[in-house]
Structure 1
Amino acid sequence: MSISATLWRNPVDKSDPVNLAVLDDSTRRSIDETPPWPRPAWLIEHVERMRYPMLWEAVQTSWQRKDSEHTTLAARLVHHANHILMNQFREELGLGLHDGDSPALTSVRVVRGGVDVLIDGALFSGAEIDTDPFVYAVGARLPSGGTLTAVVPREHLRYVTLEFVQRPSA
């Protein structure tokens, strides 16, 4: 499961211009232009949210029936970090649209353990990737046997507190 969120640099005043994303002209035009056909309220709301930066798939949780080398905390953390790098930093990494499915941009060699991760008010021993110039990643094993990972672009780190709470079941 992945969770994305709008980044509010000033959550007290959501109308503060500091909250707006830096948009290219094409994106700004596509947001500002109203099509000649009616749009449902949910679509209008979604388009308006595009004005603000997103923490795209910032938090992921996973659970596997059997442990393997691909389901370790380090492997899940690397997979999540590479996913964000491949999908959000292609230009910065010099990758074209068709440059492989998933090049290894970071690896388990850079995962550092012994990091405290706060989940539901309790500290868990976790791991981090703090060597990539574009993202910071942290994660922990959950008491349920699952894994929680979070990957945040470094430019947004100062606005984010990396503390986690379990969502109530639907």
Structure 2
Amino acid sequence: MHISGRLDAAAPDPALDLIEKVRRMPVPVLGLVPQRHLEDWDAFGLNTGTHNGVLDTCEVSISYTLWRNPDNLDDPVNLAEFDDECRASLDREVPWERPAWLLERVHRMRFPLLWEAVTTHWRAEPREYDAVEARLVSHVNHILMNGYRETRVRGELPGDLDSPVDERHVEHGLTVLVNGYERVGVRIDTDPDVYGVGVALDNGSTVTAVVPREELRFVELAFATRRL
């Protein structure tokens, strides 16, 4: 979520409207099962498409705050890595009152975020590139392109991703828990920076998850329906 300009202290939280739109997803939205090291705080992303004015495709992503030491949230191990400029920006005081929800967002920027870690995708009439293999490839490359720009992207914006994954990197036959039941899924375990899994669901939707390898030890890659 990008916030710019000066906001009145009483300005409404734009996330509330986003949540209402997410609730209109034609199929259940999935997230990771509740777990100690991850905090789910309604950090949704939403992309939709229409055909002749009717919802045709919908994609909902969920981001999570990572707590490396959930027993002591003040432990410095929980902090994200910043350069001096970014840290100074977070510490800067402004001479006006800001909305409480904005202050919370700024505070959360101090901690690692598993950005768009889980994505549920639905299309009214699925096409070849809506298969779980293609969706997982797209999700992995999306995270690499946006989260690893300094090390994996060459050239000016939007740039070219170095060593993107493709469907040749997809491994089949993985067992993944979805709402407590074992499902056959796929994974990508070849990229040096991230690890990804995906499952095709009975309602025609897919769910994929992509997690940085350096944080993988803190994450249980099992899915559950996300209450909205």
Do both proteins adopt the same fold according to a TM-score greater than 0.5, normalized to the shorter chain? yes
User: Residues 27-67 of structure 1: CA distance to partner in whole angstroms, max 9, x if unpaired?
Assistant: 11111111122111111110000110000000000111222
Gaps of 5+ in 2: 1-59
Conserved? CA contact 2:152–2:161, under 8 Å: no
1:102 Cα deviation from its structure 2 partner: 7.0
Superposed, 1:1-170 pairs within 5 Å as: 1-100=60-159, 105-168=164-227, 170=228
**Separation in structure 2 between the aligned mates of residue 17 and residue 79 of structure 1, nearest angstrom:** 34
Instruction: Name the aligned partner's letter for residue 132 of structure 1.
Output: D
1:100 Cα deviation from its structure 2 partner: 4.1
**Separation in structure 2 between the aligned mates of residue 31 and residue 59 of structure 1, nearest angstrom:** 27
Conserved? CA contact 1:90–1:96, under 8 Å: no
Query: Normalization by structure 1: what TM-score?
Result: 0.93
1:144 Cα deviation from its structure 2 partner: 2.0
Instruction: Name the aligned partner's letter for residue 151 of structure 1.
Output: V
**Separation in structure 1 between the aligned mates of residue 115 and residue 90 of structure 2, nearest angstrom:** 19
Task: Among all aligned residue pairs of Structure 1 and Structure 2, give the percentage whose two residues are the same amino acid.
Answer: 53
Q: Secondary structure at the match of 1:52?
A: coil
Closer, same or farther: CA 165–19 of 1 in aligned 2, 3 Å: same
Closer, same or farther: CA 103–76 of 1 in aligned 2, 3 Å: farther
- Compare the two structures and name the one with the higher strand fraction: 2
1:12 Cα deviation from its structure 2 partner: 2.1
Aligned length: 169
Conserved? CA contact 2:187–2:197, under 8 Å: yes
Query: Normalization by structure 2: what TM-score?
Result: 0.70
What is the Cα-based RMSD across aligned positions, in Å?
Answer: 1.6
